[in-house]
Amino acid sequence: MRHIISPTDLTLKELDDLLNLAEDIIKDPKKYSDAYPRKKLATLFYETSTRTSLSLEAAMLNLGGSILGFSSGDASSASKGESVADTIRVISSYADICAIRHPKEGAPYVASLHSSIPVINAGDGGHNHPTQTFTDLLTIKNLKGRFDNLTVGFCGDLKFGRTVHSLIGALSRYNNIKFVLISPEELKIPSYIKEQVLDPQNIPYKEVKSLESAIPSLDILYMTRVQKERFFNEEDYIRLKDTYILNTRKMSLAKEDMLILHPLPRVNEIAVEVDDDPRAVYFKQAQFGVYVRMALIMLLLGESEGRPIC
Amino acid sequence: MLNIGVLNQGIVIDHIKVGGAMKIYTYLNLENIDVSVAIIKNARSNKMGRKDIIKIEGTLNGINLDILGALDHKITINIIENGEIIAKKNPKLPDYVDNVLKCKNPRCITSVESVPHSFKLTDKEKGIYRCVYCEQSSKSVPDTITKI
Protein backbone atom coordinates (compact mmCIF):
# COMPACT_ATOMS: atom_id res chain seq x y z
CA MET A 1 0.00 0.00 0.00
CA ARG A 2 1.53 3.28 -1.10
CA HIS A 3 1.02 6.50 0.84
CA ILE A 4 2.34 9.97 0.01
CA ILE A 5 3.44 11.61 3.22
CA SER A 6 6.51 13.43 1.94
CA PRO A 7 7.38 14.50 -1.63
CA THR A 8 10.42 12.25 -1.51
CA ASP A 9 8.15 9.23 -1.15
CA LEU A 10 8.30 9.19 -4.94
CA THR A 11 11.58 8.32 -6.63
CA LEU A 12 12.85 10.72 -9.28
CA LYS A 13 11.67 8.30 -11.97
CA GLU A 14 8.19 8.08 -10.43
CA LEU A 15 8.10 11.85 -10.09
CA ASP A 16 9.00 12.23 -13.76
CA ASP A 17 6.24 9.79 -14.68
CA LEU A 18 3.77 11.68 -12.47
CA LEU A 19 4.63 15.03 -14.05
CA ASN A 20 4.55 13.57 -17.56
CA LEU A 21 1.10 12.16 -16.87
CA ALA A 22 -0.02 15.55 -15.51
CA GLU A 23 1.21 17.23 -18.68
CA ASP A 24 -0.69 14.70 -20.77
CA ILE A 25 -3.81 15.49 -18.77
CA ILE A 26 -3.25 19.22 -19.44
CA LYS A 27 -3.13 18.46 -23.19
CA ASP A 28 -6.24 16.27 -23.26
CA PRO A 29 -8.25 16.29 -20.01
CA LYS A 30 -11.21 14.63 -21.70
CA LYS A 31 -9.20 11.45 -22.20
CA TYR A 32 -9.14 10.98 -18.41
CA SER A 33 -12.70 12.04 -17.61
CA ASP A 34 -13.84 8.50 -16.97
CA ALA A 35 -10.67 7.02 -15.54
CA TYR A 36 -12.08 6.20 -12.10
CA PRO A 37 -15.88 6.07 -12.07
CA ARG A 38 -17.38 4.79 -8.78
CA LYS A 39 -14.14 5.47 -6.89
CA LYS A 40 -14.44 7.68 -3.82
CA LEU A 41 -11.97 10.18 -2.40
CA ALA A 42 -12.36 11.07 1.29
CA THR A 43 -11.07 14.53 2.17
CA LEU A 44 -10.32 14.72 5.89
CA PHE A 45 -9.58 18.37 6.53
CA TYR A 46 -9.02 19.02 10.23
CA GLU A 47 -7.82 22.49 9.22
CA THR A 48 -9.47 24.82 6.74
CA SER A 49 -8.25 24.99 3.17
CA THR A 50 -9.46 26.44 -0.10
CA ARG A 51 -7.14 25.46 -2.91
CA THR A 52 -5.90 22.12 -1.64
CA SER A 53 -9.31 20.74 -0.70
CA LEU A 54 -11.11 22.10 -3.76
CA SER A 55 -8.38 21.06 -6.17
CA LEU A 56 -8.36 17.54 -4.73
CA GLU A 57 -12.13 17.39 -5.04
CA ALA A 58 -12.00 18.80 -8.57
CA ALA A 59 -9.30 16.28 -9.46
CA MET A 60 -11.41 13.32 -8.29
CA LEU A 61 -14.53 14.63 -10.02
CA ASN A 62 -12.53 15.20 -13.22
CA LEU A 63 -11.57 11.52 -13.13
CA GLY A 64 -15.22 10.49 -12.93
CA GLY A 65 -15.10 9.66 -9.23
CA SER A 66 -16.93 11.09 -6.25
CA ILE A 67 -15.99 12.74 -2.97
CA LEU A 68 -16.93 12.71 0.70
CA GLY A 69 -15.37 14.22 3.79
CA PHE A 70 -15.31 17.09 6.24
CA SER A 71 -13.76 20.54 6.08
CA SER A 72 -12.81 21.25 9.69
CA GLY A 73 -11.94 19.34 12.84
CA ASP A 74 -15.09 20.75 14.47
CA ALA A 75 -17.20 19.03 11.84
CA SER A 76 -15.78 15.59 12.59
CA SER A 77 -15.62 13.22 15.55
CA ALA A 78 -12.23 14.76 16.37
CA SER A 79 -14.24 17.33 18.31
CA LYS A 80 -15.50 14.44 20.45
CA GLY A 81 -11.97 13.26 21.05
CA GLU A 82 -11.66 10.57 18.36
CA SER A 83 -8.08 9.79 17.42
CA VAL A 84 -6.69 10.05 13.90
CA ALA A 85 -5.99 6.31 14.01
CA ASP A 86 -9.63 5.44 14.77
CA THR A 87 -10.98 7.90 12.21
CA ILE A 88 -8.85 6.51 9.40
CA ARG A 89 -9.76 2.91 10.25
CA VAL A 90 -13.40 3.83 9.77
CA ILE A 91 -12.87 5.98 6.66
CA SER A 92 -10.91 3.13 5.07
CA SER A 93 -14.17 1.23 4.80
CA TYR A 94 -16.04 4.16 3.22
CA ALA A 95 -13.61 5.36 0.54
CA ASP A 96 -10.96 4.13 -1.87
CA ILE A 97 -8.36 6.83 -1.20
CA CYS A 98 -8.09 9.70 1.25
CA ALA A 99 -6.38 13.03 1.67
CA ILE A 100 -5.75 14.40 5.13
CA ARG A 101 -4.85 17.88 6.32
CA HIS A 102 -4.14 18.33 10.00
CA PRO A 103 -2.71 21.16 12.10
CA LYS A 104 -0.48 18.71 13.98
CA GLU A 105 2.73 17.58 12.31
CA GLY A 106 2.91 13.87 11.62
CA ALA A 107 -0.86 13.27 11.72
CA PRO A 108 -0.99 11.97 8.12
CA TYR A 109 1.88 9.61 8.94
CA VAL A 110 -0.08 8.28 11.92
CA ALA A 111 -3.08 7.85 9.60
CA SER A 112 -0.95 5.92 7.10
CA LEU A 113 0.07 3.46 9.82
CA HIS A 114 -3.56 2.50 10.41
CA SER A 115 -5.07 2.88 6.94
CA SER A 116 -6.04 0.21 4.45
CA ILE A 117 -6.46 2.77 1.65
CA PRO A 118 -3.79 5.12 0.18
CA VAL A 119 -3.27 8.26 2.28
CA ILE A 120 -2.23 11.58 0.77
CA ASN A 121 -0.76 14.19 3.11
CA ALA A 122 -2.59 17.40 2.22
CA GLY A 123 -0.51 19.44 4.69
CA ASP A 124 0.52 18.78 8.29
CA GLY A 125 1.22 21.85 10.41
CA GLY A 126 4.47 23.49 9.37
CA HIS A 127 5.95 20.19 8.23
CA ASN A 128 5.16 18.86 4.75
CA HIS A 129 2.79 19.51 1.88
CA PRO A 130 3.68 17.08 -0.92
CA THR A 131 0.78 17.80 -3.29
CA GLN A 132 1.70 21.48 -3.26
CA THR A 133 5.28 20.45 -4.04
CA PHE A 134 4.13 18.37 -7.00
CA THR A 135 2.13 21.41 -8.12
CA ASP A 136 5.20 23.63 -7.79
CA LEU A 137 7.32 21.12 -9.72
CA LEU A 138 4.76 20.83 -12.50
CA THR A 139 4.70 24.64 -12.75
CA ILE A 140 8.49 24.80 -12.99
CA LYS A 141 8.64 21.92 -15.50
CA ASN A 142 5.90 23.38 -17.68
CA LEU A 143 7.05 27.00 -17.63
CA LYS A 144 10.80 26.73 -17.10
CA GLY A 145 11.43 23.46 -18.87
CA ARG A 146 14.02 22.13 -16.45
CA PHE A 147 14.80 21.39 -12.81
CA ASP A 148 18.60 21.57 -12.94
CA ASN A 149 20.88 24.60 -13.11
CA LEU A 150 18.44 26.80 -11.22
CA THR A 151 18.94 29.38 -8.50
CA VAL A 152 15.78 29.31 -6.42
CA GLY A 153 14.95 31.97 -3.84
CA PHE A 154 12.51 31.32 -1.01
CA CYS A 155 11.21 34.43 0.70
CA GLY A 156 9.15 35.05 3.83
CA ASP A 157 8.22 32.48 6.43
CA LEU A 158 10.78 29.74 5.94
CA LYS A 159 10.34 28.41 9.46
CA PHE A 160 6.69 27.33 9.36
CA GLY A 161 6.33 27.31 5.56
CA ARG A 162 5.74 23.62 4.90
CA THR A 163 5.60 24.19 1.14
CA VAL A 164 9.12 25.59 1.34
CA HIS A 165 10.45 22.61 3.30
CA SER A 166 8.88 20.15 0.89
CA LEU A 167 10.04 21.95 -2.27
CA ILE A 168 13.62 22.29 -1.02
CA GLY A 169 13.64 18.53 -0.37
CA ALA A 170 12.30 17.78 -3.83
CA LEU A 171 14.54 20.19 -5.78
CA SER A 172 17.63 19.05 -3.89
CA ARG A 173 17.55 15.84 -5.89
CA TYR A 174 18.41 17.66 -9.12
CA ASN A 175 21.79 18.83 -10.42
CA ASN A 176 23.35 22.21 -9.82
CA ILE A 177 20.57 23.68 -7.73
CA LYS A 178 21.32 26.69 -5.54
CA PHE A 179 19.07 28.13 -2.87
CA VAL A 180 18.83 31.67 -1.54
CA LEU A 181 16.86 31.70 1.70
CA ILE A 182 15.41 35.14 2.37
CA SER A 183 13.79 35.61 5.78
CA PRO A 184 13.90 37.58 8.99
CA GLU A 185 15.98 36.01 11.77
CA GLU A 186 12.89 34.64 13.55
CA LEU A 187 11.59 32.81 10.48
CA LYS A 188 14.77 31.16 9.23
CA ILE A 189 14.67 27.66 7.79
CA PRO A 190 14.60 24.91 10.48
CA SER A 191 17.94 23.30 11.29
CA TYR A 192 16.73 19.85 10.23
CA ILE A 193 16.40 21.01 6.62
CA LYS A 194 20.03 22.09 6.65
CA GLU A 195 21.26 19.02 8.54
CA GLN A 196 19.21 16.43 6.69
CA VAL A 197 18.83 17.86 3.20
CA LEU A 198 21.25 20.66 2.30
CA ASP A 199 24.49 19.85 4.14
CA PRO A 200 24.71 16.09 3.41
CA GLN A 201 24.30 16.75 -0.33
CA ASN A 202 26.61 19.79 -0.32
CA ILE A 203 23.92 21.93 -1.87
CA PRO A 204 24.99 25.56 -2.02
CA TYR A 205 22.70 27.91 -0.12
CA LYS A 206 22.88 31.28 1.56
CA GLU A 207 20.65 32.87 4.14
CA VAL A 208 20.00 36.56 3.62
CA LYS A 209 17.60 39.19 4.90
CA SER A 210 17.32 41.50 1.87
CA LEU A 211 14.99 40.59 -1.00
CA GLU A 212 16.31 43.46 -3.15
CA SER A 213 19.90 42.25 -2.99
CA ALA A 214 18.95 38.63 -3.68
CA ILE A 215 16.42 39.03 -6.48
CA PRO A 216 18.82 39.76 -9.42
CA SER A 217 20.42 36.31 -9.16
CA LEU A 218 17.21 34.27 -9.06
CA ASP A 219 15.64 32.06 -11.72
CA ILE A 220 12.65 31.37 -9.50
CA LEU A 221 11.33 33.39 -6.58
CA TYR A 222 9.04 31.44 -4.26
CA MET A 223 7.13 33.90 -2.10
CA THR A 224 5.34 32.77 1.05
CA ARG A 225 2.81 34.23 3.42
CA VAL A 226 3.68 34.76 7.09
CA GLN A 227 1.07 32.41 8.52
CA LYS A 228 -0.90 33.87 11.39
CA GLU A 229 -2.16 30.43 12.40
CA ARG A 230 1.36 29.18 13.17
CA PHE A 231 2.12 31.82 15.81
CA PHE A 232 1.34 31.33 19.47
CA ASN A 233 1.97 35.04 20.04
CA GLU A 234 0.03 37.55 17.92
CA GLU A 235 2.53 40.33 18.66
CA ASP A 236 5.25 38.39 16.84
CA TYR A 237 2.93 37.86 13.87
CA ILE A 238 2.08 41.55 13.59
CA ARG A 239 5.75 42.52 13.82
CA LEU A 240 6.81 40.08 11.09
CA LYS A 241 3.86 39.85 8.69
CA ASP A 242 4.87 42.65 6.32
CA THR A 243 8.62 42.11 6.36
CA TYR A 244 8.67 41.45 2.62
CA ILE A 245 6.41 42.98 0.00
CA LEU A 246 7.20 42.20 -3.62
CA ASN A 247 6.24 45.13 -5.84
CA THR A 248 6.97 46.33 -9.38
CA ARG A 249 10.00 48.30 -8.19
CA LYS A 250 11.64 45.16 -6.82
CA MET A 251 10.55 43.21 -9.92
CA SER A 252 12.51 45.68 -12.05
CA LEU A 253 15.68 44.21 -10.48
CA ALA A 254 14.76 40.64 -11.46
CA LYS A 255 15.75 38.63 -14.54
CA GLU A 256 13.46 38.86 -17.55
CA ASP A 257 12.56 35.18 -17.28
CA MET A 258 12.39 34.82 -13.51
CA LEU A 259 9.20 33.08 -12.35
CA ILE A 260 7.29 34.15 -9.25
CA LEU A 261 5.61 31.24 -7.53
CA HIS A 262 3.39 31.41 -4.44
CA PRO A 263 1.40 28.56 -2.86
CA LEU A 264 -1.44 31.04 -2.11
CA PRO A 265 -3.35 32.44 -0.33
CA ARG A 266 -1.51 35.74 -0.79
CA VAL A 267 -2.02 38.51 1.75
CA ASN A 268 0.34 41.50 1.49
CA GLU A 269 3.58 39.85 0.45
CA ILE A 270 2.92 40.35 -3.28
CA ALA A 271 1.44 43.69 -4.27
CA VAL A 272 -1.58 43.35 -6.56
CA GLU A 273 0.25 45.47 -9.16
CA VAL A 274 2.62 42.52 -9.75
CA ASP A 275 -0.24 40.26 -10.91
CA ASP A 276 -0.08 41.67 -14.45
CA ASP A 277 3.62 40.90 -14.79
CA PRO A 278 3.97 37.85 -17.10
CA ARG A 279 6.53 36.48 -14.66
CA ALA A 280 3.82 36.19 -11.98
CA VAL A 281 2.60 32.63 -12.48
CA TYR A 282 0.95 31.88 -9.13
CA PHE A 283 -2.60 31.69 -10.49
CA LYS A 284 -1.49 29.37 -13.27
CA GLN A 285 0.31 27.38 -10.57
CA ALA A 286 -3.02 26.92 -8.71
CA GLN A 287 -4.57 25.64 -11.93
CA PHE A 288 -1.75 23.12 -12.40
CA GLY A 289 -2.59 21.86 -8.91
CA VAL A 290 -5.71 20.14 -10.20
CA TYR A 291 -3.87 18.32 -12.98
CA VAL A 292 -1.04 17.05 -10.81
CA ARG A 293 -3.50 15.87 -8.15
CA MET A 294 -5.42 13.99 -10.86
CA ALA A 295 -2.16 12.31 -11.83
CA LEU A 296 -1.39 11.49 -8.19
CA ILE A 297 -4.81 9.95 -7.55
CA MET A 298 -4.36 7.88 -10.72
CA LEU A 299 -0.94 6.74 -9.57
CA LEU A 300 -2.14 5.65 -6.12
CA LEU A 301 -5.41 4.06 -7.22
CA GLY A 302 -3.63 2.37 -10.12
CA GLU A 303 -1.08 0.83 -7.79
CA SER A 304 -3.65 -0.31 -5.25
CA GLU A 305 -5.56 -2.03 -8.07
CA GLY A 306 -2.43 -3.57 -9.55
CA ARG A 307 -2.55 -1.26 -12.59
CA PRO A 308 0.51 0.95 -12.08
CA ILE A 309 0.77 3.99 -14.33
CA CYS A 310 4.58 4.03 -14.12
CA MET B 1 38.13 12.50 43.53
CA LEU B 2 35.30 11.37 45.76
CA ASN B 3 35.24 7.60 46.19
CA ILE B 4 32.19 5.57 46.99
CA GLY B 5 33.24 2.05 47.98
CA VAL B 6 34.24 -0.63 45.51
CA LEU B 7 31.47 -2.67 43.98
CA ASN B 8 31.51 -6.42 44.28
CA GLN B 9 28.83 -7.09 41.70
CA GLY B 10 27.03 -4.53 39.60
CA ILE B 11 27.56 -1.85 36.99
CA VAL B 12 29.14 1.56 36.88
CA ILE B 13 27.79 4.02 34.38
CA ASP B 14 30.65 6.45 33.82
CA HIS B 15 31.30 9.55 31.73
CA ILE B 16 27.74 10.82 32.03
CA LYS B 17 27.42 14.41 30.90
CA VAL B 18 27.09 16.66 33.96
CA GLY B 19 23.45 16.87 34.97
CA GLY B 20 22.53 13.64 33.23
CA ALA B 21 22.75 11.17 36.13
CA MET B 22 19.31 11.81 37.55
CA LYS B 23 17.79 11.48 34.10
CA ILE B 24 19.35 8.07 33.61
CA TYR B 25 18.35 7.16 37.18
CA THR B 26 14.78 8.08 36.31
CA TYR B 27 14.82 6.25 32.98
CA LEU B 28 16.19 3.04 34.53
CA ASN B 29 13.53 3.31 37.24
CA LEU B 30 16.23 2.64 39.84
CA GLU B 31 14.06 4.05 42.58
CA ASN B 32 11.81 1.02 42.33
CA ILE B 33 14.41 -1.70 41.82
CA ASP B 34 15.98 -3.54 44.76
CA VAL B 35 19.58 -2.40 44.21
CA SER B 36 21.95 -0.05 46.02
CA VAL B 37 22.67 3.06 44.00
CA ALA B 38 25.25 5.81 44.41
CA ILE B 39 24.98 8.90 42.27
CA ILE B 40 28.07 11.03 41.99
CA LYS B 41 27.41 14.41 40.44
CA ASN B 42 29.91 16.89 39.09
CA ALA B 43 32.95 14.65 39.63
CA ARG B 44 36.32 15.76 38.22
CA SER B 45 37.29 14.05 34.98
CA ASN B 46 40.51 14.32 32.97
CA LYS B 47 38.58 13.49 29.80
CA MET B 48 35.48 15.64 30.30
CA GLY B 49 36.38 18.23 32.93
CA ARG B 50 33.30 17.32 34.95
CA LYS B 51 31.04 14.30 34.76
CA ASP B 52 28.36 12.33 36.58
CA ILE B 53 28.67 8.67 37.57
CA ILE B 54 26.11 6.09 38.69
CA LYS B 55 27.22 3.03 40.65
CA ILE B 56 24.73 0.22 40.99
CA GLU B 57 25.35 -2.69 43.34
CA GLY B 58 23.24 -5.63 42.23
CA THR B 59 21.78 -7.00 39.00
CA LEU B 60 19.68 -5.19 36.43
CA ASN B 61 17.71 -7.88 34.69
CA GLY B 62 15.95 -7.34 31.39
CA ILE B 63 17.25 -3.85 30.71
CA ASN B 64 18.76 -3.09 27.33
CA LEU B 65 21.67 -0.91 28.31
CA ASP B 66 22.22 0.11 24.68
CA ILE B 67 19.10 2.22 25.01
CA LEU B 68 21.15 4.45 27.32
CA GLY B 69 23.10 5.46 24.22
CA ALA B 70 20.04 7.37 23.07
CA LEU B 71 20.09 9.33 26.32
CA ASP B 72 23.85 10.00 26.42
CA HIS B 73 25.96 8.48 23.69
CA LYS B 74 29.28 9.24 25.42
CA ILE B 75 28.74 7.15 28.51
CA THR B 76 30.81 4.08 29.42
CA ILE B 77 29.24 1.07 31.09
CA ASN B 78 31.52 -1.05 33.28
CA ILE B 79 30.26 -4.47 34.30
CA ILE B 80 31.68 -5.54 37.66
CA GLU B 81 31.91 -9.08 38.99
CA ASN B 82 33.81 -10.16 42.10
CA GLY B 83 35.15 -6.65 42.44
CA GLU B 84 36.72 -6.68 38.95
CA ILE B 85 35.70 -4.97 35.73
CA ILE B 86 34.89 -7.87 33.43
CA ALA B 87 33.48 -5.84 30.56
CA LYS B 88 33.56 -2.22 29.49
CA LYS B 89 31.29 -1.04 26.79
CA ASN B 90 30.10 2.07 25.08
CA PRO B 91 26.47 1.65 24.22
CA LYS B 92 25.72 1.63 20.52
CA LEU B 93 23.25 4.22 19.39
CA PRO B 94 20.10 2.30 18.47
CA ASP B 95 18.71 3.21 15.04
CA TYR B 96 15.21 3.61 16.47
CA VAL B 97 13.99 4.19 20.02
CA ASP B 98 10.40 4.03 21.19
CA ASN B 99 9.20 5.81 24.32
CA VAL B 100 12.66 6.75 25.51
CA LEU B 101 12.82 10.32 24.25
CA LYS B 102 9.86 12.67 24.31
CA CYS B 103 9.08 15.00 21.42
CA LYS B 104 8.99 18.57 22.66
CA ASN B 105 7.46 20.11 19.54
CA PRO B 106 4.07 21.51 20.60
CA ARG B 107 2.90 21.19 16.98
CA CYS B 108 3.65 17.45 16.83
CA ILE B 109 0.81 14.93 16.76
CA THR B 110 2.40 13.29 19.83
CA SER B 111 1.43 16.39 21.84
CA VAL B 112 -2.28 15.64 21.49
CA GLU B 113 -2.69 11.96 20.66
CA SER B 114 -1.65 8.81 22.41
CA VAL B 115 0.93 7.47 19.96
CA PRO B 116 4.37 6.05 20.78
CA HIS B 117 7.14 8.64 20.96
CA SER B 118 9.31 7.15 18.23
CA PHE B 119 12.68 8.58 17.26
CA LYS B 120 15.08 7.74 14.46
CA LEU B 121 18.85 8.20 14.65
CA THR B 122 19.78 10.75 11.97
CA ASP B 123 23.29 11.83 13.00
CA LYS B 124 25.51 9.17 14.56
CA GLU B 125 28.41 11.58 15.19
CA LYS B 126 26.36 14.06 17.15
CA GLY B 127 23.91 11.52 18.57
CA ILE B 128 20.93 13.33 17.13
CA TYR B 129 17.56 11.62 17.03
CA ARG B 130 14.54 12.98 15.20
CA CYS B 131 10.88 12.38 15.85
CA VAL B 132 9.50 10.11 13.12
CA TYR B 133 6.32 12.21 12.96
CA CYS B 134 7.51 15.82 12.86
CA GLU B 135 11.33 15.48 12.50
CA GLN B 136 12.00 17.61 15.59
CA SER B 137 15.48 16.79 16.90
CA SER B 138 16.29 15.48 20.33
CA LYS B 139 19.93 15.44 21.32
CA SER B 140 21.36 12.97 23.80
CA VAL B 141 20.68 13.92 27.39
CA PRO B 142 17.44 15.75 26.83
CA ASP B 143 16.40 18.33 29.39
CA THR B 144 13.61 16.15 30.61
CA ILE B 145 12.99 12.48 30.48
CA THR B 146 9.43 11.55 31.04
CA LYS B 147 8.49 7.97 31.69
CA ILE B 148 6.06 7.34 28.90
Q: Tell whether B107 is within 8 A of chain A (Cβ).
A: yes
Pairing of strands B128-131, B137-139: antiparallel
Phi, psi of B41 (to 5 degrees): -110, 145
Are B71 and B89 in contact, with CB atoms under 8 Å apart? no
pLDDT at residue B85 greater than cutoff 60: yes
Tell me the per-residue pLDDT of A92-108, one tens digit each, with 9 for 90 and over. Answer: 999 999 999 999 999 99
Q: Which residue has the higher pLDDT, B3 or A125?
A: A125
Instruction: Give CA separation, A294 vs A25, A63, A71, A286, in Å.
Output: 8, 7, 20, 13
CB of B76 closer than 8 Å to CB of B83: no
**Measured distance CA(B101)–CA(A167) in Å, rounded:** 29
Asked if residue A270 and residue A225 are part of one domain, the reply reads: yes
Same domain, A148 and A119: no
Q: B142 pLDDT band (50/70/90 cuts)?
A: very low
Using the Cβ of A107 and the Cβ atoms of chain B, whether some distance falls under 8 Å is answered with yes
Q: List Cβ neighbours of A269 (8 Å cut-off, separation of 6 or more).
A: A155, A156, A223, A224, A225, A226, A242, A244, A245, A246, A262
- Give me the mean pLDDT over the A297-310 stretch: 85
Strand, helix or coil at A272?
Answer: helix
Contacts of B113 in chain A (CB under 8 A): 83-85, 104, 107, 110
Q: B108 and chain A: CB distance < 8 Å anywhere?
A: yes
Is the per-residue pLDDT at B141 higher than 60?
Answer: no
Query: In terms of Cα–Cα distance, which of B93, B140, B92, B96 is closest to B118?
Result: B96
Least confident residue range of A99-108, B26-35, B134-143: B134-143
Domain count of chain A?
A: 2
> A1 lies in a domain?
no
pLDDT of residue B144: 42
Side chain identity at residue A5, one-letter code: I
**Whole-number pLDDT of residue A232:** 65
Interface test with chain A among B120, B123, B133, B138, by most A beta carbons within 10 Å:
B133
Residue with more model confidence, A294 or A187: A294
- A69 residue type, one letter: G
Mean pLDDT of A67-96: 88
Please report which confidence band the pLDDT of residue A74 belongs to, taking 50, 70 and 90 as the band edges. Answer: confident
How many percent of chain B have pLDDT more than 90? Answer: 38
**Do A159 and A231 fall into the same domain?**
yes
Co-location of A123 and A144 in the same domain: no
Q: Once rounded to an integer, what is the mean pLDDT over residues A227-241? A: 72
Check pLDDT > 60 for residue B146. Answer: no
Average pLDDT over residues A216-221: 98
pLDDT of residue A230: 61
Q: Tell me the residue range of the domain where A278 lies.
A: 130-285
Domains of chain B, each with CATH number or no CATH:
10-89 (3.30.70.140), 96-139 (2.30.30.20)
Same domain, A56 and A135: no
The closest CB to that of A104, out of B108, B123, B136, belongs to B108
Q: What is the DSSP string of B66-117?
A: GGHHHH-TT-EEEEEETTEEEEEEPPPPPSEEESSS----TTBGGGTS----
pLDDT for residue B109 = 96
In chain A, the DSSP E strands lie at 40-45, 66-70, 97-102, 119-124, 150-155, 177-182, 205-208, 220-223, 259-261
Q: How confident is the model at residue A310 (pLDDT cuts 50, 70, 90)?
A: low
What average pLDDT does range A203-215 have in this prediction?
A: 96
- Per-residue pLDDT, B74: 85
Candidates B98, B113, B119: best to mutate against A (most CBs of A within 10 A) is B113
Instruction: Tell me: cis bond preceding A265? Omega within 30 of 0 counts.
Output: yes
From A190, which residue of chain B is nearest by alpha-carbon distance?
B136
